[in-house]
Chains A and B, each alone.
Chain A
């Protein structure tokens, strides 16, 4: 029988990473994600892996680039300001087509902000974040179990697409303890890594690069990346939605906001309001088609976010005028409580 653990979200993620074969971790301390490097500094040594506390987030992401170029499963984690510092490296990883897992246990901003949970990094995560026309796959857990499960998935997707994958958690998901089933890892069937740098023994040299200067090269490279993002949109969309047929108002929320929304929706249903939940698990690729279909029968949406309005733009684009899209924002400080969200639901119901 699978073991059950009572464990913090950050540690659940680290357990998943080791299980997925991640053997290299590079990171710099920042609250509220320190449980991840602390756990991995203890455990990677036991599996012949390597943990480096880097001198900065800038160094961390580039060590990750090197380890990935060598063919290893590797990761870094940080929190919002640290992820900002990594954007250059993430752009290079995307441009060089290197797999990497980057965990953002968000805190609030802008600037030094605070250490409370926030969803203010939605745009940064889903729009690439760094320079150039690229995307990262963005996975949004809403429970400790998902922190673990999506870590397993992240390493597979990174290898499948040779692309960085971001796990977008937050301070609440990282710090809360819940029961987690210690599920076995069943890897996807993945293409052989025949592009890694190992020394050109008996073969032509391999290059890992993102510089393209010859006429037409850069354009071709951008279209090649585009094709990859289109494939992600076809094959990797993940979401959870209520099964009820009678939905009058669909709440759209991810991560901690979705978690609190679930309680608010239960309360609303108890009062006879026909409210449903649509929870994107992949923020990129965003579940556009699924939302579009729902908008053929549900005419009111409410995007609930722990920011002043970011995902709501994607919800609006997805339903393309077929439904009214409302927004309720609770910017960081403390997370919203169910009673508050119930009021927000009643206001637009």
Chain B
């Protein structure tokens, strides 16, 4: 019998610890499928951020370094400069990347560092218990914005994919979601494109995932999925914000 579906080789055969309805497992799978697709498993190194994403080494069957909170792009820079023919990706949440690690992500993109960044935006700090993130939507209640995020006090949610697309060093910047099958297929394409940029030495590539966090949103998985459509996508539009062609470069 022909096998038509199996676990990607780049994932270990262990169950995910993520909460029901969380999208981390799907995102792990999409990244692993991409690594398998391009046959990169034996030359890919992951860099884990801090938060729910830190456990990537439990799931990916790859060499992995753990970075301090927010510093994954700097760690990835060090790895890539030494191992220029290896594929380096970071996997970071929104507190990690868009708050404490803002400086590292912006400058790594600006240097055109030839790495791929997987950014998981679920509008809260997941592991620490649902505090306000830089991507928390206006009015959204969290454990540290109990009256709802107010721009007078906390400013506005940050749109990372658009911001990084403005930098010359960025080769690819996209925002994707996983709330429908159609969006999932687009997400898969975006991850492939991002890794392809790196294998072609095109510079910094970035994929932002809108991800649900039913636990910290206080919603069941179906309602959480609906929130992605109704609240997240209107503020964080999906799409490709930058895609460098070979002819734009060098």
Contact = CB atoms under 8 A, between A and B. Distances in A.
| A and B are partners in one complex rather than unrelated chains | yes
Interface of A: 24, 26, 50, 52, 54-56, 58-60, 62-72, 74, 88-89, 92, 96, 197-202, 205-211
A199 B63 contact: yes
A62 B75 contact: yes
Nearest to A55: B107
Interface of B: 41-45, 47-48, 54, 57, 60-68, 71, 74-83, 86-87, 103-104, 106-107, 111
A48 B67 CA distance: 26
A202 to B, nearest CB: 7
- The residue among A72, A205, A211 with the most chain B CB atoms within 10 A of its own CB is A205
Contacts of A205: 57, 60-64
A112 to B, nearest CB: 20
Given A74-B78, A92-B68, 19 more contacts: A24-B81, A52-B111, A55-B103, A55-B106, A56-B103, A58-B74, A59-B71, A63-B77, A65-B74, A66-B47, A66-B77, A69-B79, A74-B82, A89-B71, A96-B65, A198-B63, A207-B64, A208-B64, A209-B57
Contacts, number: 131
A65 B42 contact: no
Contacts of A67: 78-79, 81-82
A211 B54 CA distance: 9
A200 B61 contact: yes
B62 A200 contact: yes
Contacts of A52: 77, 81, 111
Nearest to A92: B68
A62 B67 contact: yes
B78 A201 contact: no
Contacts of A202: 42
B71 A62 contact: yes
Nearest to A63: B78
A24 B78 contact: yes
Contacts of A209: 48, 57, 64-66
Given A58-B103, A199-B43, A200-B41, A70 B77 contact: no
B78 A68 contact: yes
A60 B68 CA distance: 13
Contacts of A71: 82
Contacts of B76: 66
A68 B54 CA distance: 20
Contacts of A65: 65, 67, 71, 74-75, 78
A197 B79 contact: yes
A83 to B, nearest CB: 16
A56 B83 CA distance: 23
B57 A207 contact: yes
A210 B111 CA distance: 28
